[in-house]
Structure 1
Amino acid sequence: MAAFNTLPRDIPNRPQPFTLHVPESDFDDFKALIRLSKIGPKTWWNQHTDDGRFGISRDWLARAKETWLSPESFNWRTHEAHINSFPNYKVSLIDPEAGTVNIHFAALFSKRADAIPILFLHGYPGSFMEFLPMMHLLREKYTPETLPYHVIVPSLPDYGLSGGASTDVEMTLDRAARIMNQLMLDLGFGYGYIAQGGDLGSMLARIISAEYDSCKAFHINMHTLNPSETPGSLEDLTPEEKNHMEWSTKWRETGLAYALEHGTRPSTVGLAISSSPLALLAWIGEKHIEWTDPRHPLPLDTILAMTTLYWFTSTLPRALYHATLVLNLTGPKPSPIPTSKEKPMGYSVFPYDLAFLPRVWAERIHPNLAFWRRHDVVSSCLFLAVCVCICFSYS
């Protein structure tokens, strides 16, 4: 299998190869904690969860616990080997406020002189693992000599295998965006790159587009209005968009409690959820179920793998700054997410997006909208494909 690990020449800050391995003793402790974790009693709420309005069911959590503990049903070493089958690196970046920040990223480096660098930014409760299926398809289709892109997939600051600030400052959206831009500069892509993001990653991509010249274009697959933006009325929308808007509004009325807790009491929720792998699974497993297309639900094995990574990297108590997405837009002092109105922008909408912007509204707000598409399904390579659709404007 081709390695895709030839870094660009004259790289300003050479990253070190990284191999993920959870020590067996840590894994034994993890399994013991799962075994000893109590599943709460049956209640009216946890037995009436068919529509998700009360969260996950007790039965789902019990089945997930049993699966997690069974070596025949869940094998973390298999996921670990898959992660390690891609080039992984760690690099120390210097930020003027956060100090030294150790960043992890997976990558596919091209040997083509004209390869376009693309930065892929995940969200919560996700990780770089979300992009591994896409990367697998790319390495199956291309060789390092033919790959048209440099694919850079970091763990966001304070997420997964990346560290946080070495100084006594809070990790904010602005700081995280600056660190992600610095990663691309340190990899030698100061001449220009494209940023792609969803969820928290969409906000970071928007900030990067507005603040950093090296970002030449950006694509997002989640969009929220800034407080001062009034794009139009519901009468402008298609019937399909009106139905989506009603569904999204209903979710905001019932599904934002977690973010308000994250944003206002991050210490409490971080410590509480860190007490047990099963507590972590209930907290973020709910989102992996609710936030995905019900026609194509995530396999339990995938949910358990994502949660296992969160547990061994202590991600949840560190990575609560994503709640800023909600507090910025709904709090008493809302602040806008800066977004370039000049650089080419791509925007994709999916049927079960929790937040979305109808096409006519997007066109009014973003005169630089170069690509807009409503997709019926998500494919593993979609994020890359839509980025490439705006590469004609890359300079």
Structure 2
Amino acid sequence: MHIEPFHIAVPQEDIDDLRRRIRATRWAPATPSPAWQQGVDAAWLRELADYWANRFDWRAAEQRLNRLPQFIADVEGQRVHVVHRRGVGPAPYPLVVTHGWPGSFVEFEALLERLCDPAAFGGDPADSFDVVVPSLPGFAFSQAPARPGMSAFQVADQWVWLMNGLGYPRFGAQGGDLGAGVSIALAARHPQVVDGIHLNFLPGSYEPATGAAQHALTPEEEAFLRDRNEWVAQEGGYAHMHATKPLTLAASLNDSPVGLAAWIAEKFRAWSDCEGDVERVFSKDELLTNISLYWYTQSIAPAMQMYWENRLQPMRFAHGSRVSTPVGFARFPKEISRPPRSWLERTFNVVQWNDMPGGGHFAAMEKPDLLAAEIRSFFRPLRT
């Protein structure tokens, strides 16, 4: 596998063009509704846009991100952007961590430090990891798929190739959002090389075997499915659009930076443990670093394409199907979906399950200490 160092270097003309586009925004007329009731709050969005155009320093963000050891790897003919940080300890354990939407590899800056050098945060250096954070196909600096069919299952196959090329014939996996789907696919398709997977999210397409008397739903599972269906009806429009008409939406979001910011930032507020105030958890600089990454790499269209592919290849398990790979699950209180343990145990070998005291969908950014401790605990007995 060919791999070469990579540094982010956005052309100045792209930065100037972004600022020009923001300042030329044609703002949508106000509607008579309370703030955030019908989506992003217009006043807050104007404030964010003004900051983006006049005060946000992309070069400072770029310089910080370039401190991460980044590479471009040729994975079966596909250019994959990857952060590969080696651990500080006697025997770092290899771990591939996969992001989702609307996140990116920047979600894991704080988590990387805690996993790679636990002693710097009061932990045991024996718990250190070599962490590999690939950008999903079409996200950030990873090449978009040239052919259809790149669902979580095919990405998992690429990650095995990538990890082997980096010198890790066996490894563990962690993920939330789309990254949870990739991690599950790794466990299901490659149990011979994946020691265990740790999740902080369960994909909505996951369906275990149900229906027969011995598989009847428990009251807790019935309540979970009711809550999930209600959430999908009220909040799941974005996913339905991504999975059914992504190119229609991409035509707007790839052309309007403010539209892109609205589409992404609203989710950081709605899905995080912020009590309605997104800047209690994420600064404008943190939000705009991630949003700018989507903008400069024009990755919103291929990012949404993965929803289309996952819809065509959902995670459904037939009667008798079992995934023997050990699974750990951290259930955060403000996560958009909170399945009961039994729902996972219908298919998976759940060996660690913990309810977290705080945090939401973006756990690696919101609660990096909590998530790092969970990951260390889960993989500790699997390191041999």
Same topology, TM > 0.5: yes
Q: How does 1:249-288 map to 2 (within 5 A)?
A: 249-288=229-268
Does residue 125 (structure 1) correspond to residue 102 (structure 2)? The answer is: yes
1:100-120 CA-partner distances (Å, limit 9, x unpaired):
111111121137673210110
Structure 1: distance between partners of 2:101 and 2:322: 23
Q: Tell me, what secondary structure is at the counterpart of 1:203?
A: helix
Contact 2:334-2:358 at 8 Å conserved across structures = no
Q: Tell me, what secondary structure is at the counterpart of 2:48?
A: helix
Per the alignment, do residues 173 and 67 of structure 1 end up closer, same or farther by CA in structure 2, a change over 3 Å counting?
A: same
Q: Aligned AA for 2:30?
A: K
Q: Tell me, what secondary structure is at the counterpart of 1:22?
A: coil
Offset at 1:20?
A: 0.8
Q: Which residue of 2 aligns with 1:15?
A: 3
1:349-393 CA-partner distances (Å, limit 9, x unpaired):
011111222123334443x21110010124214433323223213
Q: Tell me, what secondary structure is at the counterpart of 1:319?
A: helix
1:71-124 CA-partner distances (Å, limit 9, x unpaired):
2xx211121111111211111111xxxxx1111111211376732101101010
Q: How does 1:193-208 map to 2 (within 5 A)?
A: 193-208=171-186
Q: Tell me, what secondary structure is at the counterpart of 1:123?
A: coil
Structure 2: distance between partners of 1:232 and 1:301: 48
Contact 1:134-1:381 at 8 Å conserved across structures = yes
Q: Tell me, what secondary structure is at the counterpart of 2:324?
A: coil
1:205-251 CA-partner distances (Å, limit 9, x unpaired):
000111112111101111146335336545347xxx96x77654432
1:183-223 CA-partner distances (Å, limit 9, x unpaired):
11111111x10010101000110001111121111011111
Structure 2: distance between partners of 1:131 and 1:58: 29
Per the alignment, do residues 377 and 322 of structure 1 end up closer, same or farther by CA in structure 2, a change over 3 Å counting?
A: farther
Offset at 1:258?
A: 1.4
Does residue 321 (structure 1) correspond to residue 314 (structure 2)? The answer is: no
Q: Which residue of 2 aligns with 1:150?
A: 130
Per the alignment, do residues 381 and 185 of structure 1 end up closer, same or farther by CA in structure 2, a change over 3 Å counting?
A: farther
Q: Which residue of 2 aligns with 1:369?
A: 350
Structure 2: distance between partners of 1:234 and 1:209: 26
Per the alignment, do residues 209 and 138 of structure 1 end up closer, same or farther by CA in structure 2, a change over 3 Å counting?
A: closer
Q: Which residue of 2 aligns with 1:302?
A: 286
Q: Which residue of 1 aligns with 2:159?
A: 180
Q: Normalising by the residue count of structure 1, what TM-score does the alignment of the two structures yield?
A: 0.83
Structure 2: distance between partners of 1:135 and 1:233: 39
Deviates further, 246-255 or 148-157:
246-255
Structure 2: distance between partners of 1:302 and 1:269: 24
Unaligned runs of 5+ in 2: 360-366
Matched residues, number: 360
Offset at 1:179?
A: 1.3
Structure 2: distance between partners of 1:155 and 1:249: 30
Structure 2: distance between partners of 1:219 and 1:137: 16
Q: Which residue of 1 aligns with 2:111?
A: 134
Q: Which residue of 1 aligns with 2:48?
A: 64
Structure 2: distance between partners of 1:364 and 1:282: 38
Deviates further, 128-137 or 226-235:
226-235
Per the alignment, do residues 274 and 385 of structure 1 end up closer, same or farther by CA in structure 2, a change over 3 Å counting?
A: same
Structure 2: distance between partners of 1:172 and 1:245: 24
Offset at 1:272?
A: 1.8
Q: Which residue of 1 aligns with 2:368?
A: 380
Structure 2: distance between partners of 1:87 and 1:335: 33
Offset at 1:157?
A: 1.1
Deviates further, 25-34 or 111-120:
111-120
Q: Normalising by the residue count of structure 2, what TM-score does the alignment of the two structures yield?
A: 0.85
Contact 1:196-1:383 at 8 Å conserved across structures = no
Q: How does 1:44-123 map to 2 (within 5 A)?
A: 44=32, 47-50=33-36, 52=37, 54-71=38-55, 74-94=56-76, 100-110=77-87, 114-123=91-100
Per the alignment, do residues 34 and 337 of structure 1 end up closer, same or farther by CA in structure 2, a change over 3 Å counting?
A: farther
Unaligned runs of 5+ in 1: 1-12, 95-99
Per the alignment, do residues 204 and 141 of structure 1 end up closer, same or farther by CA in structure 2, a change over 3 Å counting?
A: closer
Q: Aligned AA for 1:370?
A: V
Contact 1:344-1:390 at 8 Å conserved across structures = no
Per the alignment, do residues 227 and 246 of structure 1 end up closer, same or farther by CA in structure 2, a change over 3 Å counting?
A: closer
Per the alignment, do residues 257 and 59 of structure 1 end up closer, same or farther by CA in structure 2, a change over 3 Å counting?
A: same
Structure 1: distance between partners of 2:308 and 2:258: 26
Structure 1: distance between partners of 2:357 and 2:310: 26
Offset at 1:176?
A: 1.6
Q: Aligned AA for 1:25?
A: E
CA RMSD of aligned residues (A): 2.7
Deviates further, 287-296 or 31-40:
287-296
Match of 1:336 among 307, 311, 316: 316
Contact 1:328-1:335 at 8 Å conserved across structures = no
Q: Which residue of 2 aligns with 1:352?
A: 334
Contact 1:349-1:375 at 8 Å conserved across structures = yes
Structure 1: distance between partners of 2:69 and 2:206: 37
- % identical equivalent positions: 26
Structure 1: distance between partners of 2:281 and 2:229: 22
Per the alignment, do residues 168 and 134 of structure 1 end up closer, same or farther by CA in structure 2, a change over 3 Å counting?
A: closer
Q: Tell me, what secondary structure is at the counterpart of 2:133?
A: strand
Does residue 218 (structure 1) correspond to residue 176 (structure 2)? The answer is: no
Contact 2:95-2:132 at 8 Å conserved across structures = yes
Does residue 162 (structure 1) correspond to residue 142 (structure 2)? The answer is: yes
